Structure 1
Amino acid sequence: MALEIAPPRPEFLQVAEAVAREKMIEKEEVLEAMELAMGRAGRQTYGINKDIRAEIDRKNGAVKLSRWTLVVDDDAVEDEETQMPLRIAQKVKPGIQAGEYIVDPLPPIDFGRIGAQTAKQVIVQRVREVERKKQFEEFKDRVGEIINGTVKRTEYGNLMVELGGRAEALLRRDETIPREAFKNGDRVRAYIYDVREEPRGPQIFLSRTHPGFLAKLFAQEVPEIYEGIIEIKAVARDPGSRAKMAVISRDASIDPVGACVGMRGSRVQAVVAELQGEKIDIIPWSSDIATFIVNAMAPAEVSKVVLDDEGKRVEVVVPDEQLSLAIGRRGQNVRLASQLTRYDIDILTEAGESERRQEDFRKRSGLFVEGLDVDDVIAGLLVTEGYGSIEEIVEVDDEELASIEGFDENIAAELKRRAVAFLELKEVEADQKRVELGVSDELVELGSFTAAMLVTLGEKGVKTLDDLADLASDELVEMLGEDQMDEETANAIIMAARAHWFGEEGEPQNG
């Protein structure tokens, strides 16, 4: 008996085209969703566990149903509803191989009310998935852009923003500027800082406090930034209160600060208005970090900058009367300058810096007076020349020491002799203390520690080779101080201490 031919259904094609136009997705994707839905409805008739598939004719809309059965090796059948052993399949279709399908056409069906409802649910779900994927593809490359939207609803202070009817975005309460309030229907401009693909659809996250929001607002207001003539190098914000922005010009004839401010402040004022009155300091960027830090501290004047590049710290000395201005209200100015330059900034007044310098001078002079048994004048000369420890006196060349004004070769030689004697005495005293603390000779024999270091370890409870071997490298560095040892050296010492745990061939020794 011949199978009934499926009648043409042009209305299916019309529906697919209408849905595709409404949702702004491809017609083919809608048709695939309809085929999936009709296949599921077909399983309601021919067997829920069977692999029933539908195919819509792209010319006349006719729906063809078929049952698909996967051919598998004789001993690999797991599901008799959807799989057929190879020996039986070859009787049905000679020459077929495992991995291929046997496709049996099925008579067309009347979907009925339940089938139609099931199909509708599948189509709606599938179309929604396609729509979400399209949204993600559209917005994933727009991170870093400013977008306009309308507040659709508020959830626990967070705003759900509709983006032109195409998608929704989340503007969390902590990403809004303090004291600003939005109502349903209000227009809002914000910065896309993240787009994530999640099971419930793409999640688009907006911010009005992100530094990038300020930078993009200036790019909209200042043509020179949009054209790349002026570059924004860094931005730091205290949202709604104050911001600092560092700029540089690629064209020597264009003042980057003046261009961003605009005629009578027109450009900067447009940004300030969008940011609810946030004051903006625009400063010139400099590749010289000291100059950049001085600029970043504006409006405060800076007398001196002392940099520690390795530790990313800087000491800024300001006149006494500029201290409150340099710090700013609740530390705002120094905090923003620190964020802008990425250096930790410590502020000192000129008086405070002078007092600290004098205290440091007295401390180092006292060290030389006590250790070298010299008077204040000689000790002061050594400190003035930059010597900070007795070890430096031992290590310096005789000629360099003798070249200090008022010194000669005899004085230099005597100072070095006293320095050596002092350090030897300290080493003996430290070794005696090491013995009193019970630090074993095995640690001495490693040859990696001074007597003073061994005393420190003993005081921390590290007294045997096993105690040392049990440490992690960062623990050893923390005990001795980063100025005494780096982590690589500490790791090598610990591995040497662990060597006695293993036999000659690297196997653990039996204890």
Structure 2
Amino acid sequence: MDSNKLVESFAEFAKSKNIDRPTVIRILEDVFRAVMIGKFGNSDNFDIIINLDKGDLQIWRFREVIADDAADAGAPNKIPLSEARKIEADFEIGEELSEEIKISDFGRRLIVTAKQMLIQKIRELEKEALYNKYEQLVGCLVSAEVNQILSKEIILLDDENNELFLPNSEQIPKDQFKKGEHIRAVICRITFNNGIPRVILSRTSPLFLERLFENEIPEIQDGLIAIKKIVRDPGARAKVAVETFDDRIDPVGACVGIKGSRIHGITKELQYENIDIINYTDNLELYIARALNPACINRVEQNDDRVSVYLDPDQVALAIGKGGQNIKLAGLLIGKEIDVYRDIPTHLEQHDILLTEFSDTIEPWILEELHKVGLDSARSVLALPKATLEERVDLEEETIDEIYAILDQALNS
């Protein structure tokens, strides 16, 4: 292969990878200097001239003419007079000899090596460019096309055909995609696999929901409404605390939109995840009450890292939610553990017994299961039909029958 064809082919390849001209020239020069070091031992006395427009490559070697018996006759940048006169008969000592080196002089092995080095340099630049591009975009929303659906992840392509990865763990449980489909996700992080950067996307991150809100709610884009915090159980439920800097704006209403017009597109993107939008406040007791909606609380007792919430018996299940989901998300939103207690009127307290009194007859883990669903006294358990209790707790029917028998005997003895 002659030098013109080599430069042309490399320039075309680099162009297809969006590598700029100065970088292409620098790579070509670096590679050929490495080849010259391999052939001649150094590259200091060589000039490389590259013209990408013409696909032209010229390599010039410069050496000083010295006497045949000079001490430095073997130096790479020197040439004995006798050898210089074989090239041109009128050379004299002290003159500079310049000669063009043809790429064909390198031999086939070095030419193949040069081609491999050029390709490798481009691959390295691609990795660097990919990392530099997405390292600045971590936390941003992107749209990419599904290219491959694998057992553990989905591989997507961006508009420059870079591969992006959406692991199963970062997908909403109800997500189902087809090849060629465009999906939205947030750039979660960049990892490395054998030195190759992998751009990891997420649809479960609270940031994904935050970016969707920013896209859909003009007041958030304009800075009139701020998102204080988001917590999620992806695909099931989310709580979003918002506040406004303009008293004329209802932040919750603005986010929901007329008849839910704004929030509908977001919930649809999230596979119809239920989204509770909460008006943020510095008043912790009020904030807790809003976070535990739709339950109505009676009072709150605050500790350092926990809060105790007291509710009417019929509100306990609403506060806890299915599988404890509502109270878990509310706790994450306010940043404290929430303990829920039935607020039993004083005149009824003497007719009930707290479940903690049964620690000798009922195993602690069973009592914990009952407490998780807001049951903290004997009457609160007995007030529920057995079928209802079976739905709420992960206990065998036989165990539940035994619990009812123990509690009933205690109240009636």
Q: Distance in 1 between matches of 2:111 and 2:349?
A: 88
1:387-416 CA deviation, whole Å, 9 max, x = no partner? xxxxxxxxxxxxxxxxxxxxxxxxxxxxxx
CA contact (8 A) 2:32 2:114 kept: yes
Partner of 2:48: 56
Query: Per the alignment, in what secondary structure is the counterpart of residue 333 of structure 1?
Result: helix
* Higher Rg: 1
Cα 1:227–1:127 change in 2 (3 A) is same
Partner of 2:23: 29
Partner of 2:229: 234
Query: Per the alignment, in what secondary structure is the counterpart of residue 258 of structure 1?
Result: helix
1:202-224 CA deviation, whole Å, 9 max, x = no partner? 22111000011111101111100
Question: What's the TM-score once normalised by structure 1's chain length?
Answer: 0.57
The question of 1:345 aligning with 2:311 is answered no
1:313-351 CA deviation, whole Å, 9 max, x = no partner? 111111110111110000000000011111111111102
Q: Distance in 1 between matches of 2:235 and 2:47?
A: 59
Query: Per the alignment, in what secondary structure is the counterpart of residue 281 of structure 1?
Result: strand
Q: Distance in 2 between matches of 1:291 and 1:52?
A: 75
Partner of 1:450: none
Partner of 2:197: 202
Q: Distance in 1 between matches of 2:151 and 2:60?
A: 50
Cα 1:155–1:317 change in 2 (3 A) is same
Cα 1:67–1:184 change in 2 (3 A) is farther
1:119-172 CA deviation, whole Å, 9 max, x = no partner? 221111101111221222211111111100011223332111111134211111
Percent sequence identity over aligned pairs: 32
1:262-321 CA deviation, whole Å, 9 max, x = no partner? 11101111001000010111110011222111110111111111111xx32111111110
Partner of 1:312: 305
Q: Distance in 2 between matches of 1:12 and 1:119?
A: 9
- Alignment equivalent of 1:259, drawn from 254, 261, 264: 254
Query: Per the alignment, in what secondary structure is the counterpart of residue 316 of structure 2?
Result: helix
The question of 1:176 aligning with 2:171 is answered yes
Query: Per the alignment, in what secondary structure is the counterpart of residue 201 of structure 2?
Result: strand
CA contact (8 A) 1:51 1:67 kept: no
Query: Per the alignment, in what secondary structure is the counterpart of residue 270 of structure 1?
Result: helix
CA contact (8 A) 2:239 2:275 kept: yes
Higher relative helix content: 1
CA contact (8 A) 1:37 1:119 kept: yes
Deviation at 1:36, TM superposition (A): 2.9
Greater RCO between the two (CA within 8 Å, min separation 6)?
Answer: 2
Higher relative strand content: 2
Return 5+ residue gaps in structure 1 as ranges: 1-7, 69-85, 93-103, 361-511
Q: Distance in 1 between matches of 2:125 and 2:169?
A: 32
Q: Distance in 2 between matches of 1:136 and 1:286?
A: 40
Deviation at 1:105, TM superposition (A): 7.9
Deviation at 1:184, TM superposition (A): 2.5
Partner of 1:331: 324
CA contact (8 A) 1:52 1:65 kept: no
Deviation at 1:14, TM superposition (A): 4.8
Counterpart amino acid of residue 190 in structure 1: A
Q: Distance in 2 between matches of 1:307 and 1:55?
A: 78
Deviation at 1:33, TM superposition (A): 2.0
Q: Distance in 2 between matches of 1:55 and 1:228?
A: 57
- Alignment equivalent of 1:214, drawn from 202, 209, 217: 209
Return 5+ residue gaps in structure 2 as ranges: 64-71, 79-97, 355-413
Question: What's the TM-score once normalised by structure 2's chain length?
Answer: 0.69
Query: Per the alignment, in what secondary structure is the counterpart of residue 306 of structure 1?
Result: strand
1:337-366 CA deviation, whole Å, 9 max, x = no partner? 01111111111110299959x999xxxxxx
- Alignment equivalent of 1:289, drawn from 278, 284, 287: 284
CA contact (8 A) 2:216 2:262 kept: yes
Query: Per the alignment, in what secondary structure is the counterpart of residue 57 of structure 1?
Result: strand
Q: Distance in 2 between matches of 1:300 and 1:63?
A: 81
Query: Per the alignment, in what secondary structure is the counterpart of residue 351 of structure 1?
Result: coil
Cα 1:352–1:208 change in 2 (3 A) is farther
Cα 1:117–1:328 change in 2 (3 A) is same
Query: Per the alignment, in what secondary structure is the counterpart of residue 297 of structure 2?
Result: coil
Query: Per the alignment, in what secondary structure is the counterpart of residue 192 of structure 1?
Result: strand
Deviation at 1:34, TM superposition (A): 2.0
Q: Distance in 1 between matches of 2:277 and 2:145?
A: 31
RMSD (Å) for aligned C-alpha atoms: 3.4
1:423-434 → structure 2 map (5 Å cutoff): none
Deviation at 1:173, TM superposition (A): 0.5
